[in-house]
Amino acid sequence: MAKLPDITPEIVAEHGLSEDEYKVILKRLGREPNLNELGIFSVMWSEHCSYKSSRRHLGKFLTTGDRVIQGPGENAGVIDIDDGDCIIFKMESHNHPSYIEPYQGAATGVGGIMRDVFTMGARPIALMNALRFGEPTHPKTKTLVNGVVAGIGGYGNCVGVPTVGGETNFHKGYNGNILVNAMCVGLARTDNVFYSAAKGVGNPIFYVGSKTGRDGIHGATMASAEFDDDSDEKRPTVQVGDPFTEKLLIEACLELMATDAIIAIQDMGAAGLTSSSIEMADKGGVGIELNLDDVPQREEGMTPYEMMLSESQERMLMVIQPGKEQLAFDVFEKWELDVAKIGVTTDTGNLVLNHKGKVVCDIPISPLADDAPNYDRPHVKSEPRPVLVAEDIHETQDYNDALVKIIQSPDIASKRWIWEQYDRHVMSDTIDSSQSGGDAAIIRIHGTNKAVAITTDCTPRYVQADPYEGGKQCVAETWRNLSCVGADPIAITDCLNFGNPERPEIMGQFVGAIDGMNEACRAFDYPVVSGNVSLYNETNGEAIPPTPAVGGVGLIPNLDFFKTLKGAKDGDTLILIGETTGWLGASLYLAEILSREDGAPPPVDLQKEKANGDYIRKLIRNKRVNAVHDCSDGGLAIAACEMAFASNIGVSLQAAPDGPTHGWLFGEEQARYLVSVEKNSVNPVVSTALAKGLFAQVVGTVGGDRIQAAGAFDVTLAGLRQKHEEWLPNLLNGTDT
């Protein structure tokens, strides 16, 4: 075995450790680490694994609730949905790998988030995603879109889990750093949830799944650094996924979980065997000793450094009950997966690695985990933007043209080309998906008459304008989208995507967004149960727009009472719940019609959000509405168009009751819902709302084959739909739009 090199300042820097951090390592060890130990410290102290810039702020979140079984701190969050059933879910980023190698980066992001879920005993039942690409004209955008979408579809479709929804945005701020956030939802029984804390002394540690190769080495470190012009050189750090092996691994794990053989289980994600073994040991308060000679390897001559830092996919680590070893071997061999006993739990509190008869690592576990750096980064509050008054904003002279421009803008245009590449109905429990254009996907709990609703949301331009209000809005929009389908919102996961936290203005965005999100969560009793932080999303000093993506999950107790965007009927009346004042700051109207991105975003009144959402769910359960949609991007006009597209019937909006027409049609006030109701329900719906102190007004009718607004636009439904559908295919085919 070759002698390990001496540790030099250059080697320390190459591992992403600062001089001060290295001094702490020397103090904790009382000696100089060898290269293996340095590599382990480097990945465990990376931003991606240690959350060293974010931990103290994440601790502000509401994380408990009546339905919360497991909050943050495990592989995924767990919530109770009655009848002994629970939902296990999480969202996570795979941003840097997807920019470098879009297909494999996105595919392994899907595989990784599924492992986080099924490692806790759940069968994955649905996938979601939140994607952000650069401006459509950027030379890399088409390649990145094609690769990412193919990777998501290729992996999810092969594993046999439906991809049921998500969101896709385009903006110049993501030219150098795209975002690929994946969410997985799984179903388990409350009495059969598995955790990662290793227990006992002398218990066998099993490695299962695929063999270890050299792919993904230092992936966690790479994900904790900025990009520059040489980022393509980091391609070797991107892992390679195999969805067919993942499918076998799911089935094998679930089969063994049906026995009493497993004490603890952890997937090998970022930092691979290093993070999985250390996290298991730390949570259980034990030590771990591994014999690396026994690790299944697909490449010859792998060093301890390579084996510990590899991020090869489709691998799990387990602590097995003594006496159940043969059972574990039998199950995994039946599914034709690699399986090996590679170590034992100990009472030393150390991670000890043996290789070819020598101890190649012996370091305490606590400094690697809970005792990792925890920084209070300097941060400055974002400067507030001025409130823009609709009367002071240029009003278009051609509303037909304005409507077309917004309906085919990158944020609003149909993403059919994307979702058609995803299998949305495998497993046969998908009630509603991205196919309808609705507010949330709906997945039946198999064999029952209840369902879960799922949504992912973020409006980065709001967060950019005001991180605090934008953070509130991200949570509030998931609340609205779940309410739109009749689901009781239960809990959220998140994926917090920001730039370099060492820059006070970026850290200020992060802190502001978290504070806003937390206020919304507490107002709604809507806890955060899992999530992920992705920092250093910038290239050559240019940070992405702050993007705290939120995944919301709610329960539909009875599928006799739910709604979708479809269902508006000829002769229905359109009612708007929630007040319109004509807020155009940070709006799509401002961006798409006037090429401006200024102004304060719409404020989020959390009391109104809760009251209006509660009322909408009551209307659905009283069967008072035929279709429901929240008013968000593009305001009332776009909400009405999307309802018309989904129901395949025209709409006619009334003239603005007061104030400028562009504010009435395209203003983006929050806490608003557009509902389609039969004539005999109009008075009860409006009068009950007013009696509750809510704002409600009739704004139009349903019928015909045109989309109209009095004194503004008048276009055919078919013609506008064509504009809505053609933008993305034209972009990817190189056709002018």
CA distance 171 to 662: 23
Which are the catalytic amino acids?
A: 48, 94
Q: What is the spatial order of strands in the sheet that 68-70 belongs to?
A: 68-70, 77-80, 85-93, 179-189, 123-133, 163-170
Burial class (CB in 10 A: 0-12, 13-18, 19+), 236: middle
Comparing CA positions, the residue from 314, 334, 166, 162 lying closest to residue 243 is: 314
- Map tokens 């009696």 to a residue: 691
The pLDDT value recorded for residue 230 is: 55
Provide the 10 A C-beta neighbour count for residue 736.
5
Lowest mean pLDDT among 241-245, 256-260, 515-519: 241-245
* Sequence-ordered list of residues with C-beta below 8 angstroms from that of 137, at least 6 positions apart, any chain: none
Give yes or no for residue 2 having a pLDDT over 80. Answer: no
DSSP assignment, residue 258? Answer: T
DSSP 329-341: HHHHHHTT-EEEE
CA distance 263 to 297: 25
Give yes or no for residue 1 having a pLDDT over 80. Answer: no
Give yes or no for residue 734 having a pLDDT over 80. Answer: no
The pLDDT value recorded for residue 6 is: 85
Q: How confident is the model at residue 372 (pLDDT cuts 50, 70, 90)?
A: confident
Torsion 306-309-315-317 (CA) sign: positive
Q: For 261, phi and psi rounded to 5 degrees?
A: -85, -20
Mean predicted confidence (pLDDT) in 636-655: 97
Cα-to-chain-centroid distance, residue 271: 20
Q: How confident is the model at residue 241 (pLDDT cuts 50, 70, 90)?
A: confident
* Sequence-ordered list of residues with C-beta below 8 angstroms from that of 107, at least 6 positions apart, any chain: 151, 152, 154, 155, 241, 243
Q: What is the pLDDT of residues 453-490, one digit of tens each?
A: 999 999 999 999 999 999 999 999 999 999 999 999 99
Mean predicted confidence (pLDDT) in 20-41: 94
CA distance 640 to 77: 36
Tokens, residue 576:
């708007």
Mean predicted confidence (pLDDT) in 4-25: 91
Q: What is the pLDDT of residues 98-146, one digit of tens each?
A: 999 999 999 999 999 999 999 999 999 999 999 999 999 999 999 999 9
Pair 558, 622: CB distance under 8 Å: no
Burial class (CB in 10 A: 0-12, 13-18, 19+), 571: exposed
Q: What is the pLDDT of residues 251-305, one digit of tens each?
A: 999 999 999 999 999 998 778 899 999 999 999 999 999 999 999 999 999 999 9
The pLDDT value recorded for residue 737 is: 44
**pTM recorded for the entire structure:** 0.95
Report the mean per-residue pLDDT for the chain: 94
Give yes or no for residue 406 having a pLDDT over 50. Answer: yes
Give the rounded percent of residues in the chain with a pLDDT score beyond 70. Answer: 96
The pLDDT value recorded for residue 224 is: 46
The pLDDT value recorded for residue 234 is: 46
Name the residue type at position 513.
A
Give yes or no for residue 225 having a pLDDT over 80. Answer: no
Q: What is the pLDDT of residues 60-81, one digit of tens each?
A: 999 999 999 999 999 999 999 9
Give yes or no for residue 612 having a pLDDT over 50. Answer: yes
Give yes or no for residue 92 having a pLDDT over 80. Answer: yes
Tokens, residue 179:
């975002």
The pLDDT value recorded for residue 198 is: 96
Give yes or no for residue 653 having a pLDDT over 90. Answer: yes
Q: What is the pLDDT of residues 332-351, one digit of tens each?
A: 999 999 999 999 999 999 99
- Map tokens 């339905």 to a residue: 67
Higher per-residue pLDDT: 218 or 26: 26
The pLDDT value recorded for residue 227 is: 52
Q: How confident is the model at residue 369 (pLDDT cuts 50, 70, 90)?
A: confident
The pLDDT value recorded for residue 217 is: 78
The pLDDT value recorded for residue 222 is: 46
Tokens, residue 101:
């190698």
Q: What is the pLDDT of residues 160-194, one digit of tens each?
A: 999 999 999 999 999 999 999 999 999 999 999 99
Give yes or no for residue 231 having a pLDDT over 60. Answer: no
